[in-house]
Structure 1
Amino acid sequence: MSSTELPSAPAASVTPRVGAVRVAEGERLRSAGLPGITLTIRSRPPAREGLPPALYVHGLGGSSQNWSALMARLDGLVDSEALDLPGFGDSPPPDDGDYSVTGHARAVIRHLDASGRGPVHLFGNSLGGAVATRVAAVRPDLVRTLTLVSPALPEIRAQRTAWPTALLALPGVAGLFTRITREWSAEQRVRGVLALCYGDPGIVTPEGFRDAVEEMERRLALPYFWDAMARSARGVVNAYTLGGQHGLWRQAERVLAPTLLVYGGRDQLVGYRMAQRAARAFRDSRLLSLPEAGHVAMMEYPETVATAFRELLADLGELTSPMAVGAES
């Protein structure tokens, strides 16, 4: 895949967004209309002028809300935006129905080209990590650093706990799962997600659990929810099978941006053993291993991840002020 396959886009139309989606204190939502897609963008007003821009990309089944805790801890360090990928969060499905890794990467690139915010500090988790890797490989001009939390890069032997997610990619499985789980409550579904994604689900506060249940109920009411999940899962599986220059590991080797890799020892979706391979693949990388974390370390240990990112910028000489070095939430 060459950069010509992920073209620039004309300027977006931007509309403030207010709705049922949860917005944390200090955050705001807006909609950005681009050719073929409409993206919901979550942002925090920058603490001061001149902060470098950052963009956060969530994983399969997630949303921009997954980054709220980390974004708050990076106030004063970067100017943060997190997007809802097409078909997730509060973004409607793409017009062309393309939920491939390349399709999602194209959405990220269109947003960055239209907003003129690049180069950014680019963050990605899980599926978003694969998307961010592809963006950094094909458009290095848009990425100043890359932070990947449990990126969905190909594994020869996936963990057994990851198989149900991969099975969603098979035709008809999403419909079958929908029928089987028709009687499941939103609370049951959220508990299942937390058990799969967190190293210790017990760290989720009662308020956080209630918010997750409310969001689950909202998403289940969307007519395209399972289609977006199934097609995006299929996109990840298809990306795993690509070889040559299209392969994600080959593209990881092409990334020029300094890269922070974050892996959790209790991750049930991305093997902890892949951390060392990733550290070798990305040419300018550092590795943060969190033995107690699961699949979403930026939600479980946001302060630790923020500190590692802060240290990356310090080593690169990119901290914008002395106070940012020791910033705490």
Structure 2
Amino acid sequence: MNAVSLHEDRLVVQRHGEGQVLLCLHASVSSSQQWQALMQRAPKGVALQMADLLGHGDSQEWPVDAPARLATEVAALLRSVDVGDEGVHLIGHSYGGAVAMQLALQRPQLVRSLTLYEPVAFGVLAACEPEDPSWREIQDVARYVDGCLAQGQTIAAAQAFVNYWHGCDLWSVLKLHQRDALAARMKTVSHHFQALFDARWSPQLLSQLQQPVQLICGGRTRAPAARVAALLAQHLPNAQLHTLPEAGHMGPLTHAAEVARMIWGMVPLRQPRAMAA
């Protein structure tokens, strides 16, 4: 496994294997390391590219002069990954799932399929169901995080964010260095919320995403994530929604092996040619 050199707004990308390209995009406050279980179960003939998104892992911080838009993340990705001659299959979790959708809309000719675990395309709530309680719920979470950051309380922001998405008091069992690392990413998380809220995923826009989309949703997830998944399944023209009953929003971490098996069963990989007798 190796990584690209860090240069300007390039991202660090871990690579594994050779063959059909799969680009894996992680959740907020995570990194490319979250895809270890997927990598360990990778079949022959696939090339995983696992990117550290802006402000995460070993990649640089969000550029000061760059807008908080999903397109900013997509631009950095396109400068950093090797698409190959046949395009890529996209795999994304949470924020990474929304980035994958943005990439597919911007460069549809590059994307063969999407397999997404709870993509947090919150703008679909604003566009389709602005009075839904789940839309207000996630706005409240973002406002609390921004309020903490405005007062310099990065630890409080990180604690609220982590506990919300894990659905339990995970913060109390984290080590000090883990808490500090999460707190250091909260300014980037604020960018994520702004980018996700500003991307208004109307039914008309979603209808343009023609690639096969496999959606996975945890049975114990948060209401905003579940509602987004349901709306995407309704409005994307070629989507299927699957449920992992015992998992929550952080299923790719808490149920890593099971999620990895589901993903490998869903990605429409090209079958290798049979060898001549």
The two structures have a TM-score, normalised by structure 1, of 0.67
Superposed, 1:63-142 pairs within 5 Å as 63-76=31-44, 78-95=46-63, 96-112=65-81, 115-117=82-84, 119-142=87-110
The reply to whether residue 257 of structure 1 matches residue 226 of structure 2 is no
- Which letter does structure 2 place at the counterpart of 1:305? V
- Which letter does structure 1 place at the counterpart of 2:29? G
Counterpart of 2:180 in structure 1 is: 217
Superposed, 1:1-329 pairs within 5 Å as 28-33=1-6, 36-44=8-16, 46=17, 49=18, 51-76=19-44, 78-95=46-63, 96-112=65-81, 115-117=82-84, 119-153=87-121, 154-155=124-125, 156=130, 157=132, 158=134, 162-167=138-143, 170=146, 173-176=148-151, 178=153, 181=156, 189=159, 193=162, 195-198=163-166, 214-220=177-183, 222=184, 225-239=185-199, 242=200, 247=201, 249-268=203-222, 270-313=224-267, 316=268, 318-320=270-272
- Which letter does structure 1 place at the counterpart of 2:15? S
Task: Quote the Cα distance in structure 1 between the aligned partners of 2:90 and 2:41.
Answer: 16
Q: CA deviation at 1:146?
A: 0.5
Comparing 286-295 with 95-104, greater Cα deviation is found at 95-104
Q: 1:42 to 1:168 in 2, by over 3 A?
A: farther
Task: Quote the Cα distance in structure 2 between the aligned partners of 1:270 and 1:78.
Answer: 33
- Structure 2 gaps of 5+ residues are none
The two structures have a TM-score, normalised by structure 2, of 0.78
Secondary structure at 1:121 match in 2: strand
Q: Percent identity among equivalent residues?
A: 26
Task: Quote the Cα distance in structure 1 between the aligned partners of 2:106 and 2:120.
Answer: 17
Q: 1:238 to 1:309 in 2, by over 3 A?
A: same
- Which letter does structure 1 place at the counterpart of 2:3? R
Task: Quote the Cα distance in structure 2 between the aligned partners of 1:248 and 1:304.
Answer: 32
Q: CA deviation at 1:151?
A: 0.8
- Which letter does structure 2 place at the counterpart of 1:60? S
Q: 1:82 to 1:309 in 2, by over 3 A?
A: same
Task: Quote the Cα distance in structure 1 between the aligned partners of 2:177 and 2:99.
Answer: 27
Counterpart of 1:17 in structure 2 is: none
Secondary structure at 2:196 match in 1: helix
Task: Quote the Cα distance in structure 1 between the aligned partners of 2:266 and 2:192.
Answer: 31
Q: CA deviation at 1:161?
A: 5.7
Secondary structure at 2:58 match in 1: coil
Q: Deviations over 1:166-198 (max 9, x none)?
A: 21575x54232616739xxx9xx49x72x4334
Secondary structure at 1:99 match in 2: coil
* Contact 2:21–2:83, Cα closer than 8 Å, also in 1: no
* Contact 1:265–1:293, Cα closer than 8 Å, also in 2: yes
Q: 1:256 to 1:99 in 2, by over 3 A?
A: same
Alignment length, in residue pairs? 262
Task: Quote the Cα distance in structure 2 between the aligned partners of 1:303 and 1:179.
Answer: 32
Secondary structure at 1:90 match in 2: coil
Counterpart of 1:205 in structure 2 is: none
* Contact 2:207–2:236, Cα closer than 8 Å, also in 1: yes
- Structure 1 gaps of 5+ residues are 1-27, 203-208, 323-329
Task: Quote the Cα distance in structure 2 between the aligned partners of 1:236 and 1:169.
Answer: 15
Secondary structure at 1:270 match in 2: helix
